[in-house]
Amino acid sequence: MTEPKNTERDPAEGFSADWLRLREPLDLAARSEALAQGFKSALKPREGQALRLIDLAAGAGANFRALAPLLQADQEWLLVDHDPLLLQAQREEISNWARQHGWRCVDEGGVLSIEAGNARWQVRGQQLDLARDLERIDLPWCDGLVTTAFLDLVSSAWLDRLCALLAAVPRPLLATLSVDGRRTWHPALAADEFIGEAFVAHQAGDKGFGESLGGQAAASLAEKLGAHAYRVSVQPSDWRIGAAHGEMLLTMAREAATVALEVNPSREASVSAWQAERSAQAARGDLSLVVGHLDLLGVPV
């Protein structure tokens, strides 16, 4: 089973490194800076040791690239994903990113060592099926846990397992960019409502972790963590996709149409017309889309 990253993707490509690369600038712009700073403040590194972070469903390493410069200190990262192709992409993407910043990056037996000014960062990947083997995560090893664009794919029962781990080994958790079900196209079209309803229905399917929570993921996790003596904060982290992101707009329209036809094949004519109009609007620079996301910070009390 390939570890999914999000239902917002090009269906023809699946959860590929290309898709993750396409969405990364939007993710960076959308993330809640306040919650990221709150996560930084909540981390309690052990004396004389680098900060240790685990990233669940890490994909191609975007979370590391977003957070490592913010955290600044010496860091050790464990990037967990089930897909061996994404584990390989992690090393390539992170190496290229580091060199673009003028930082020395060396691959030492699969462990990337980066010299970023006065900070030293080490990054390694771990292949793990999080649906089956979540409890194998070495939570006591780390100082904090992160994940991005992932929790809307899991079930309520899977979140219970995650919260049980965090109750037994309390650690700050930063979960970013969970979809919340909102999608607003501009200009509006009559078929938007049907297209949106089909997408929400599709999100509720089983993505390998049981029935997905979709847009309810952040609220569900906040409630569950609160019951385990965590202080929880949630803030919006919406994608705002405009004319400058034409490729992403076309991808999102194509995906929405594909999903709508999967849900209701009888609507082929209206869906095809909707996609054609959205493609024309994107080509003219007249199209924009807001996709609702939420960031969540949980800190043990």
Q: In what helix (H) or strand (E) does residue 95 lie, and over which residues does it extend? A: helix 84-100
CA dihedral 292, 260, 14, 174 (to 10 degrees): 20
Closest residue by Cα to residue 145 from 77, 209, 231: 77
Q: How far from each other are the two terminal CA atoms of the chain, in whole angstroms?
A: 36
pLDDT (tens digit, 0 to 9) for every residue of the chain, 301 residues total? 233 334 343 333 336 788 888 899 999 999 999 999 999 999 998 888 999 999 999 999 999 999 999 998 999 999 999 999 999 999 999 999 999 999 999 998 889 999 999 999 999 999 999 999 999 999 999 999 999 999 999 999 999 999 999 999 999 999 999 999 999 999 999 999 999 999 888 888 888 999 999 999 999 999 999 999 999 999 999 999 999 999 999 999 999 999 999 998 999 999 999 999 999 999 999 999 999 999 999 999 9
What are the distances in angstroms from CA 285 to CA 190, 213, 238, 240, 279?
A: 20, 34, 20, 14, 10
Contacts 24+ apart (CB under 8 A), 110-116: 116/68, 116/69
C-alpha–C-alpha distance, residues 208 and 223, integer Å: 23
Q: Is 80 helix (H, G, I), strand (E, B) or coil?
A: strand
Buried b (16+ CB within 10 A) or exposed e, 25-60: ebbeebbbeebbebbbebbeeeeeebbbbbbbbbbb
What's the pTM?
Answer: 0.92
C-alpha–C-alpha distance, residues 242 and 263, integer Å: 27
183 beta partners: 291
CATH of domain 17-179+211-238+294-300: 3.40.50.150
CB-CB contact of 166 with 230 (8 Å) = yes
Tally of residues, the chain: 301
